[in-house]
Amino acid sequence: MTDDGNRPTVVRASAYACTALDALQAASEFDDIKGQDVYAALGELKSGVGDRLPTSLRNLVRSLDAYDVREDDGSDPALAIAKAADHLGEAATMLELVWDRLEQAQTALRGQSAHQRPDRTT
């Protein structure tokens, strides 16, 4: 395993994002979560997944053409860059659709308050 300090910033930031998603999965897996807390979590996710991640993917596309590269197999690197750029652009667009769905879910929960149901125990 490479020392984290020797990894490029973009790789470290991506790893941190994955760690944050692991924490979200763990936090939401077994606990009952109040609607107002889900509402707040959705707001954070919209900002990260629906806004910052698509922007970051588009920034990665821009950086793909910054270096003169060669493919190990001798093929034209421009083709690989174009294909990767297309896939990253499509992923960014899909994440913007995720933002829309998160917004709709958050809107549906607006104004909710929660009290423990008598038939549920924690």
pLDDT tens, position by position, 44-80: 999 998 889 999 999 999 998 888 888 899 889 899 9
How does DSSP classify residue 117? Answer: -
Q: How far apart are CA 88 and CA 98, in angstroms?
A: 15
Could you report the per-residue pLDDT of 1-26, keeping only the tens digit for each? 456 678 999 999 999 999 999 999 99
Euclidean distance between the first and the last CA atom of the chain, given in angstroms as a whole number: 40
Q: What is the pTM of this model?
A: 0.77
